């Protein structure tokens, strides 16, 4: 284990765990997340000067919506994931699809005009190391765009069932996957340390209302984790049921995650 790494990296810990593509509801969960995040991601790419012909790396492509949109803009797209089950169909659209571990496998330095990672880096043993690796693959003046969630808004919710289950879920995520649910709050410092320039940052709070897409996304996250969380003693069946009632109620209105977005350019 290298200095700065919190635990030893194995692909199986993420690929075969609570976010496995083998889980029946995973495609639906990713689709909901895309609908919640894609508009902001697209707007940020456009603001940073995405142009037809740009070489773009989409790291941890998930359900493939960002890679597909990038290709529609005329970019030459490489999309990677540990499991490309949901991405393989994109090859028919001229997108290069690679089963690739960005934490241990390389691309040549200076390969890409844009590199994008969303909801990926917090799940790695040393996210700062991951940022430094990504920065090395940028062309001179190329852009690294990172979007990661932070859990602090849900930890002190005034809704008791939601607060209880969110605290338990955070602990489960940290213990089972190894995720650092507070790392996003350090942005954009890791990009500065990686030598990037023209640094930018924005942050926004997502809102969840009973029965909306954010609430549905949380319900799927929790259902995929319920059995393991109960077995670990982190929550009880009644805790889940009470949280589900809150998340389904039209009277429920609260904060969800914060999303921190940072970007910087490689040295020219």
User: So what's the pLDDT on residue 13?
Assistant: 64
Average pLDDT value over all residues in the chain: 95
CA distance 123 to 181: 8
- pTM, full prediction: 0.95
Mean pLDDT along residues 239-255: 98
In this model, does residue 8 exceed pLDDT 90?
Answer: no
Confidence of residue 1 (pLDDT cuts 50, 70, 90): low
State which H helix or E strand residue 43 sits in: helix 26-47
pLDDT digit string, tens, across residues 143-190: 999 999 999 999 999 999 999 999 999 999 999 889 999 999 999 999
In this model, does residue 15 exceed pLDDT 90?
Answer: no
pLDDT digit string, tens, across residues 98-130: 999 999 999 999 999 999 999 999 999 999 999
Omega of the bond leading into 188 within 30 degrees of 0 (cis): yes
Confidence of residue 16 (pLDDT cuts 50, 70, 90): low
User: So what's the pLDDT on residue 11?
Assistant: 64
User: So what's the pLDDT on residue 185?
Assistant: 96
Q: Which domains does the chain have, with CATH numbers?
A: 11-265 (3.40.50.150)
Note whether 239 and 164 are within 8 A (CB): yes
For 169-193, give the DSSP string. Answer: HHHHHHHHT---TTGGGGTTHHHHH
CA distance 116 to 132: 13
Closest CA to 217 of 21, 14, 26: 26
Mean pLDDT along residues 231-245: 98
CA distance 6 to 97: 30
In this model, does residue 14 exceed pLDDT 90?
Answer: no
In this model, does residue 3 exceed pLDDT 90?
Answer: no
Mean pLDDT along residues 57-64: 96
In this model, does residue 5 exceed pLDDT 90?
Answer: no
């Amino acid at each position: 284990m290298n200095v700065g790494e919190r635990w030893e990296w194995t692909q199986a810990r993420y690929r075969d765990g609570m976010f496995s593509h083998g889980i029946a509801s995973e495609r639906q969960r990713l689709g909901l997340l895309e609908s919640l995040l894609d508009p902001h991601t697209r707007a940020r790419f456009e603001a940073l000067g995405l142009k037809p012909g740009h070489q773009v790396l989409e790291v941890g492509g998930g359900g493939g919506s960002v890679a597909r949109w990038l290709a529609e803009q005329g970019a030459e797209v490489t999309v990677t994931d540990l499991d490309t089950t949901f991405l393989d169909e994109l090859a028919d659209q001229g997108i290069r699809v690679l089963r690739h571990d960005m934490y241990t496998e390389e691309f040549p330095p200076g390969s890409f005009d844009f590199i994008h990672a969303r909801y990926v880096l917090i799940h790695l043993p040393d996210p700062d190391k991951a940022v430094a690796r990504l920065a090395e693959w940028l062309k001179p003046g190329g852009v690294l765009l990172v979007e990661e969630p932070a859990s602090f808004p849900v930890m002190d919710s005034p809704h008791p069932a939601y607060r209880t289950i969110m605290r338990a879920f955070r602990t489960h995520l940290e213990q089972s996957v190894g995720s650092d649910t507070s790392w996003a709050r350090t942005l954009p410092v890791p990009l500065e340390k990686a030598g990037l320039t023209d640094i930018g940052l924005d942050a926004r709070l997502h809102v969840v209302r009973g029965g909306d897409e954010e609430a549905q996304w949380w319900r799927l996250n929790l259902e995929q984790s319920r059995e393991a969380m109960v077995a670990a003693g982190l929550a009880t069946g009644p805790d889940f049921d009470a949280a589900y009632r809150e998340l389904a109620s039209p009277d429920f209105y609260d904060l969800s995650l914060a999303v921190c977005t940072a970007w910087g350019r490689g040295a020219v």
